[in-house]
Amino acid sequence: MNNKIIKFLNILKNASLAKKDVVILTSNHLLLNCTEALYKEGLILSYSTFNDNDEIKLSIKLRNVDDTVLTNKLKAVSKPTHIRYLPYHQLCRLSLKEKTGFFSTSKGILTLDECKKNRVGGVFSFYS
């Protein structure tokens, strides 16, 4: 499990607690992949990239529903000291009910349903 994902989740949670609408941070491929997955699941409103002093920045607009920010509910599962890898056959038995699980796989950051469709396992990174 990469520390960058945990830091990214903490930045989003802290921004939601501070009632900010937009978060701007330095982008890399992993964070862009996580942001795309969050956007597909509807947890963020929009995102964009731009150049600032030869650095690629990522701007994320947070989604508010009934005065609560959806990124406030993100929880990290795998930590650097305890990585939870789930192969495909265990993913088939996993049920998160009303929650959305995000997995770091060889095909990028995927949700539980996408992992089942692509028949891949991975590291259980976080859920919301």
Provide the residue count of the chain: 128
Domains defined along the chain, listed by start: 3-71 (3.30.1370.30), 75-127 (3.30.1490.10)
Per-residue model confidence as pLDDT tens digits over 111-123: 888 898 999 999 8
Per-residue model confidence as pLDDT tens digits over 66-110: 666 666 677 888 877 888 888 988 888 887 777 788 898 888 889
Which of these, 26, 108, 112, lies nearest to 77 by C-alpha position?
Answer: 112
In terms of Cβ atoms closer than 10 Å to its own Cβ (0-12, 13-18, 19+), residue 99 is exposed
Beta strands in 33-117 (DSSP E): 44-52, 55-62, 64-65, 68-69, 75-76, 85-86, 101-105, 108-111
Given a cut of 60, is residue 32 above it in pLDDT?
yes
